[in-house]
Structures are given as C-alpha cells and as structure tokens.
Chain A
C-alpha cells in the first residue's frame, strides 16, 4: 500500500537545498554523511595509533601527538560519528515510523545539524595551534587538561556547540514523538527504535548540560582564576571526575540504546517472527536509563572513595547487567523457532548480539571493584569499550544502513559485497580487539605510545587486525555510494518479513513522509 502523498513541493535545487533544508530526510542524510566523514577521520587517527603501537619503541610520532591522537580519535568517534549517526537515523526514521510528515521542529533541526561541521572544524583546527590538539584523553581530567596551550578554549567551545546541537536534536525527537504520532499509534505500539530514542533523548537533555558545566568550569579554572578543580585554591580535581562521569556513564548508554532499537527492528524481520517480549524490552530500556544515573563512579574505583561508596557503585553497576541481559535473552527468543535468513543487516545484527554480549561480560568483570583495581586504565578496558562501541554501536549503525538503504534510495545495495564487508570486518575486528584483553590482563596500561617488549606480539596482531578493519570500511563507503547511484529497484516492503509504517511508503519515500496520517490498527 502506498499512501497518497502528492509531492506538492519538492526539494530546492543546488547546494542551497542542503544549507537551508528543513526536511527530515535531507537533514537525516546530512547527519549520516557527516558521521561517515568523522568516522573516516577518526579512523585515520586510529590507524596512526595502531601504526605506532605495531612495535615497541617510538617509531612514528611524538608522544604528545600520540596522546592527542587517542584524545581526538575518541572525541570524533563519540561526538562526531556515533551520536550524529544515530541522530541521522532518528531524523530519517522517526517520522516514517510514527506516521508523521516530518519532524516537529524543522528549523531547529536544520540549526542543530549545521552547528556540527563548525564544532568539529574548530576542534580539528586546534592541531594547528600552539601546543597542538587536546592530549589529555577524551575525559579531559584536570589538572592535565589545563596544561593544554592555545587550543584549549577552542576545544571547549567545540564541545559546547556539539552539546547544544545534541540538546536541540533531542528536544526535536521528544516533541515529534509525543505530538506527531498517527492516530492509534499509542506509546506501547511504537517501534522500539522510537522508544529507545525517546529515552535516549531524555538522557541527552539530562546529561549534556552537566558536561557543559564541567568543561565551563575547566575554562574558568584556566582563564578566570577560579579553582573548582585545583586543590591549591580549595577545589578538588576528583570533583571533576564525578561531574564528568555523571554525564559520561549515561553517555555510554546514549551510544547504545538506539542500537538496541535498531537490532529489535531487524531481528523480527529476518526471523519472520514478532519481537519477543516487547513490553519487557521497553521496561528494560527504561530501567537501564535509570540505573545509568547511579553507577558513574565505577569509572573511578581507584580515586580513593570511601569504601561504602565503592560498595554502592559496585552493586549498582552489577545490577545494570540484569536489564541488559533481559534484552539479550529477548533477542535470542525472537530468533528461536523463527524462519531465518541472513542478509547483510541480519548478519550485522547477529554479530552485534554476540560481540556486544562479549563486551557486556567484560563490563561485568570490570564492575567487580577489587578486580577493577587491576583492570582499570589498562587495555582490558580498551577491549571492553571497543566491543560495546565498535561491534555494538557501530555495528548497529551499519546494520541500520544496510536495512533501510533500499528504502531511502529505492535501490538494493550489492548483497554480495555487503556480506563480504561483514565477514572481513568481523574477522578483523576480533583480531583487532580480542588480544587487547590479554594485553590488559598482562599489565599493559592504556594511552601509551610505547610499551615493554613482552606486549609486542599481541600488539602486532592487534595492529594488523586494525589495518584490515580500517581498510575494509572503505568497502562500506563504496557499497553505499553504489546503491545511491543505482542498482536493482527495491520494492516498497523491501524485506519479506518487514513490518511497520515505513515499509508502507514507496521506495524511495515521498519528500514529506505522511501527509495524511495512516491508520494504525
């Protein structure tokens, strides 16, 4: 069924279309393109890191530059790649999934996107300033972060801009979801991607101002003579860490909740079976979001908290594994006795479940405070968060792109290449990150450009995996490019088992998604 949406006005022409657009699909595409560019730049930085770590000894870069590589790599990947990619997906999909013509606040939407290129250009420009780019880790712990030279205020301002962009994007998501649903689309009928984004948007609005406050205090500590984080002036450097992680832990869930929504959309399609435990999925998402606010200090077990505090944060962190487990069990029950096929989106979704769960296991290990005294700040933590972020968040984004690309472009992507991309990525990403568990356990700290000789072998293997993984992402770019240019025509439903409003629209969908609200049974 294709809805009667006459295109009463189409897109403007030329470059100005993209600058002035208020259309949710155009803005969604802009976000996704931006995220892809940031992913490639951040990925290039990761290649520098892995090249330096290929062998012990300092071969390629200065340690200070190495530190700014790890710092900016993380900032780009988190704030420039994963978050904008999810926002891009939200823009494309939420109106189509709830039966709305567009996002509720289209001009705000344009503004929140266009802040980003400026923010990240400014961040990258610090490399050309006195003293170079930020090199204190993405966590920007003072006093170290205050030793940054001329680029410091520019970096802070870039974070502010990215934060404002996220907050505005989130307001738009919430207003759209709460006001623009088609008649009959009750909250408990919404697709899980919409649900997870609704909750993510609240997390963003609650935590981004906290980050903004923390980095503003850094700014005044450096330039206005305040001593929020300087013990010499009566302040407390650990306070920064509390504030940062009060933002930072919910942030890691901001990076994964939409992924849960994506996987919950893809599995039922390719298992040809409804999602198992829809309502428990919603409740699990909500309880993860709640718990994410009371576990922040598990990033700080070694700062010397009172033992009662350490116990509290240990127990709370262990608790968060419960709703996370519920999600995994529900997904597997969805697959159970389905009629499965394994097209590329399904491969990425299945890969997500397995490898995200591995990251969850190492998370559970890290939550044991006494053991974390050994794991903390080692490559074990690096392995943990790359399993949840690369094979978690990024895999879900790739799954989503393969899943909805035919809908967006009207063309099927090259299935053979897509599968090849999955297999090369999955093998190489495990060669890249699995040995990092061993390195961390054997005693290799994170954020170091040179290391002792007994870590040489696993580092070399890890680097080789890294180079293959990095290069294989160029395939991804090529596959997308090819599908935009042409390819087999996609049907409206695209996938045999696909359910939901977006699949009732034509492929590609009309410029304004639903001009007449569809009826939801």
Chain B
C-alpha cells in the first residue's frame, strides 16, 4: 500500500498545478466510520474488493500472458479448439460458490442495519429544498426542533466564483451548517426520514449509510455513535438547484453535555415564544428578517430580491409583497404554494422569524409596505 500511495503522490505532484487547493491527505478508500455498522459495511466492502482483485489478477494475468505469448509475430500457429463443457461448468460453479460465500455476511449486516427496534430515542429528519429539519420526537428533548442550513460563510463564499478563497475552510468547505444535529453518544437513535418537497437523501459516511427522505413517506434507520465528535455528510439525492449545498452535520456529545445542550435549547425556545408576544420595532424586524431571508429564501428569490424569473419570482416590486394587506403574503409563506417549489414555512420557521422575514421582504429593495408582528402570524396560524 505504501509504495503505491507514494506513487499516487508523485502523480498528484505532477498534476497539482494549483497548489492552493491541494490538501495533504488523499482519501482513497471508504471511511471505516465511527459506528459498529459503518465498520461492518467497511469490512464487507474490503472483502468484496479483495475478491475482485483476486479474480482480476487471475483473469487479467491469463489474458496478458496470452497476449504476449500467443502472437502471430512469435510464429505461433493458432489452435482450433472451441468448446469445453467442463471448463464452462468450472467457471460457472466457482463464481457461484464465491458469490454465496459473499452473500452470507452481506445478509447478516443487512438484517442488522434494518433492525430499528429497541431505540433509546427518535429523531425525525425532514429534507427541504435546501436544508434539513430535525425534530426530537421523544425523551427529554421532545419538542425541540432544529433547522440546519449551509453555514452563511460558506454560502457567501460559493457565490464568489473564482474569487473565493476556499482554503480558510480547510476540509469542511460546503460541509458546515448553521445549526448542527446534536445527539448523545452511546444511545440507539432511530431516525424517521421524510421530505417536504422533493426526494432528498440523508447521508453521513461515518455512520455507514444513507437513506432517502421521500415526501409523503417515512423511512426508518438507526445508529449508535460511541465516540463524541463532529461527523459530516451531505444530501445524496439530486434535489434541484442547490442540491450540492445542503450538508449534514451531526455533533455527538457525551450524555451529560448533551443534556446541558437540550436544556439550553429548551430555554431558548421559551425565550422565543415569549418574545413573540411582545411588539417588535421595525428596525428589529428588519435586522432579523434579513438574516432569515439570506439563509432560507435567497437561494431562490436571490439576495437582491430579483428572483430568477420565470422560475423563481422577484419579490422586489412584487404586487403581493407591496400590497397594503399582508394577508396573502403571510399565507404563501406559511402554507407555500402547492405544485411549486415554494414550500410551506409554517413548521420550519417560528413566529418571530416569519414576521421578520415577511417584514423584510415588504421593506427591502425599495419595497414599502406595512410591517408584520409575530402576533399577526400567531393569529393567522
């Protein structure tokens, strides 16, 4: 391995014209991951890989030998044999035996991977163009909800085209989010996966699997993470324009730390609920609204509100966003528009965020219309 990897490095040195993007370690193989499942999958991968290598050496070896020895230029006269039932049987049966011996461990791992029983906790994962939403369904975290989008810094960098300096992100460019999924170590976590709009696929290589998130259906999967750490992955199923920009980040914490995180989040949720009851100033709403807009809406409606007509309408100057009565505007953001890419945000954003982003849309880019209070949203829900 080391000789061949040195060879690869030489090749890389020849090819890496752009030293700026060259990173020291070259991943060549599947990760072993951090769970028993990912280890089992890695082992299967390596067994079948070495089987293929062994067959390859024999088959290509014979072939290459023939190509060098049985040449006309060496004066060989062609033999005329063209049939052998024995040989046909041999090379039918030997592969069958190899395959059966491969199928047995594969079946064992598959059965274990599909066994979601006896979970300690359940998290619902919802894929949304282009972010993930995590709902804690039970245990002390019940009711917590996290919306996880591409980290704003990365989001900004990717819009810069050739001017972007990506080295500042190290190995995590496009693999970082604003709010990660936080889970406890040592617990069997059952995931329920679904989607709000199109099909997505939730994938963290270190956990050893990916599973599709399908609108209208619920898929199940599970994991037990033993080592605390940050595990990164991304959406694996093409889900539209920004498919490449919806990473998954799982932070596994020791149970005590995890409990502290849960308590903190619960407190934050209470604070938000309280703040929804007070009257907000326009400046507060605009400041918050801009942030919400940039992470949630700008992918389609564009940072400057011009959209990408005709697919994504402009909000700057839009009749709806400048109408005196905000009811229609609130309605489309809360409930989305069936049959279009505009999803319902009622379960993704809280009242304050919704009021802020709608106010922002009504007063940014030259728009001028009434502001919307969190209480208005609450009343409309």
Contact = CB atoms under 8 A, between A and B. Distances in A.
B3 interface: no
B34 to A, nearest CB: 14
Contacts of A332: 59, 62-63, 66
Interface string B304-341: 00001011000000000000000000000000001111
Contact of B70 (A336, A376, A449): A336
Main secondary structure of the interface of A (DSSP, over half): helix
B210 A377 contact: yes
Nearest to A54: B18
A137 B238 contact: yes
Contact of B102 (A318, A329, A335, A453): A318
Nearest to A368: B106
A503 B238 CA distance: 49
B82 A274 contact: yes
A135 B308 CA distance: 15
A447 B83 CA distance: 46
Given A361-B55, A445-B234, A460 B199 contact: no
Contact of A336 (B21, B62, B214): B62
B144 to A, nearest CB: 25
A495 B363 CA distance: 78
Contact of A371 (B41, B91, B198, B211): B41
B172 A310 contact: no
A391 interface: no
B244 A450 contact: yes
Given A322-B92, A322-B95, A460-B15, A238 B243 contact: no
B11 interface: yes
A277 B161 CA distance: 57
Contacts of B27: 438, 441-443, 454
Contacts of B241: 62-64, 67, 135
Interface in B3-46: 11-12, 15-18, 21-23, 25-31, 40-41, 44-45
A373 interface: yes
A188 interface: no
Contacts of B60: 354, 357
Given A56-B21, A273-B78, A278-B82, A453 B166 contact: yes
Contact of B41 (A56, A137, A362, A374): A374
B345 interface: no
Nearest to A350: B67
Contacts of B244: 63, 445, 448-451
Interface in A333-353: 333-342, 350, 353
Nearest to A458: B26
A325 B238 CA distance: 33
Nearest to A150: B310
B77 interface: yes
A185 interface: no
A237 B236 contact: no
B344 to A, nearest CB: 12
B22 A337 contact: no
Select the residue from B17, B214, B234, B238 with max chain A CB neighbours within 10 A: B238
Interface in B198-223: 198-199, 201, 203, 205, 208-212, 214-217, 219-220
A384 B15 CA distance: 23
Interface string B219-249: 1100000000000011111111111110000
Contacts of A274: 80, 82
Contacts of A136: 238, 240
A144 B199 contact: yes
A373 B59 contact: no
Contacts of A376: 201, 210, 236
Interface in A82-107: none
A58 B366 CA distance: 29
Interface stretch (A13-21, A212-220, A300-308): A300-308
Given A56-B166, A361-B52, A325 B91 contact: yes
A502 to B, nearest CB: 20
A460 B22 CA distance: 10
A135 B162 CA distance: 24
Contacts of B220: 304
A424 interface: no
A464 B11 CA distance: 13
Interface in B243-258: 243-245
A276 B66 CA distance: 15
B78 A337 contact: yes
A280 interface: yes
A369 B16 CA distance: 35
B23 A237 contact: no
Nearest to B28: A438
B311 A340 contact: no
B310 A131 contact: yes
A338 B66 contact: yes
A337 B66 contact: yes
Contacts of A458: 26
Interface string B58-85: 0110110011001111001111111110
A280 B88 contact: yes
Contact of B29 (A58, A277, A441, A451): A441
Give the top 6 A-B pairs by smallest Cβ distance, nearest first: A231-B216, A442-B27, A448-B244, A304-B219, A361-B52, A339-B78
Given A230-B216, A374-B30, 8 more contacts: A58-B159, A59-B162, A271-B70, A302-B211, A337-B66, A448-B243, A452-B173, A457-B26
22 contacts: A56-B166, A57-B162, A58-B158, A135-B240, A149-B310, A230-B216, A237-B199, A338-B66, A350-B63, A365-B49, A368-B45, A368-B48, A370-B106, A373-B209, A373-B210, A374-B30, A443-B205, A450-B244, A452-B173, A453-B166, A460-B15, A461-B11
